[in-house]
Amino acid sequence: MVDTRILSDKRTLGATGAELGAAAIRQAIKQKGKASIIVATGASQFELLQSLVAAENIDWSLVTAFHLDEYVGMDITHPASFRKYLQERFIAPLGGKVTFYPVNAEVDPQVEVQRLSKIIAGHDIDVCFAGIGENCHLAFNDPPADFDTDQPYIVVTLDEACRRQQMGEGWFPSLEAVPQQAISMSIRQILKSRLIILSVPDERKSQAVKDALEGPVDPRFPASIIQSHSQTILLLDPDSASRLA
């Protein structure tokens, strides 16, 4: 059962997600002397990352961070680069203390997939911060998502709804400018996370939220897979929760 919480606004949603995640990081460090996490990007993560980097009593030098995805062929200087996003909003505010494995899909995405898959295989993920896309994607696993692959990272083709979302959020000037492929963390790798914290504000995500929670677990609704995870917390605002029964 997904722990679903409806909060008053985006800022409260982000602060709550950060507080829950920070507690999980502290607990992992206390128990194991280290923590491994997954961080996400996009408009839904602005407030969460702002609060997370300000969290107290975390020794970030003991934390290893992975991220979910990156566009194929994307230069790190491009405004839409997820590596750039995380460098500015996560790595730099922490003074570079965290060990970070960026997804670099600029040159040879298949080689990068193999590299990252080998690295993450050596880490037990304590908490995954993520969102849900307008088309119900989880990371860049667009519908129909591959629920079966054991490969931690995969190369995916982005559907038009996903690409339109990226344009609509202002990352690209036109649909044609949005890349058609990306490296994405796979569904099964995300599900290996001990705790998944999904931050999903805004009315435009409301149908995806409904499909994820109230529909069947189905590759046509990739985020519906969270119904099978033992510890997922889904944070919504009144707008994104507006279609729930």
pLDDT digits (tens, 9 = 90+) for 78-107: 999 999 999 999 999 999 999 999 999 999
Beta 181-185 vs 153-157: how paired, if at all?
antiparallel
Q: Which structural domains are found in the chain, ordered by start?
A: 3-236 (3.40.50.1360)
Give every CB contact of residue 133 below 8 A, 6+ residues apart in sequence. Answer: 142, 161, 162, 165, 205, 208, 223
pLDDT digits (tens, 9 = 90+) for 1-36: 899 999 999 999 999 999 999 999 999 999 999 999
- List the one residue out of 215, 216, 227, 243 whose CA is nearest residue 191: 227
Distance CA 141, CA 192 (A): 16
Quickly count: other Cβ atoms within 10 Å of residue 8's Cβ.
9
Contact at 8 Å (CB) between 219 and 144? yes
Is the pTM of the predicted complex or chain greater than 0.85? yes
Q: Which amino acid is at 199?
A: S
Quickly count: other Cβ atoms within 10 Å of residue 88's Cβ.
12
Q: Which amino acid is at 201?
A: P
Distance CA 166, CA 43 (A): 10
Distance CA 55, CA 108 (A): 36
Distance CA 54, CA 50 (A): 7
The reported pLDDT for the residue numbered 1 is 81
Tokens representing residue 210 in the block: 């409904």
Q: List the beta bridge partners of residue 71.
A: 182
Coil vs helix vs strand at 195 = strand
Distance CA 140, CA 187 (A): 9
Distance of alpha carbon 228 from its chain centroid, rounded? 18
Q: How far is CA 215 from CA 191, 206, 212, 226, 230, in A?
A: 19, 13, 6, 11, 18
Tens digit of pLDDT per residue, the chain (245 long)?
A: 899 999 999 999 999 999 999 999 999 999 999 999 999 998 899 999 999 999 999 999 999 999 999 999 999 999 999 999 999 999 999 999 999 999 999 999 999 999 999 999 999 999 999 999 999 999 999 999 999 999 999 999 999 999 999 999 999 999 999 999 999 999 999 999 999 999 999 999 999 999 999 999 999 999 999 999 999 999 999 999 999 99
Q: Which amino acid is at 147?
A: F
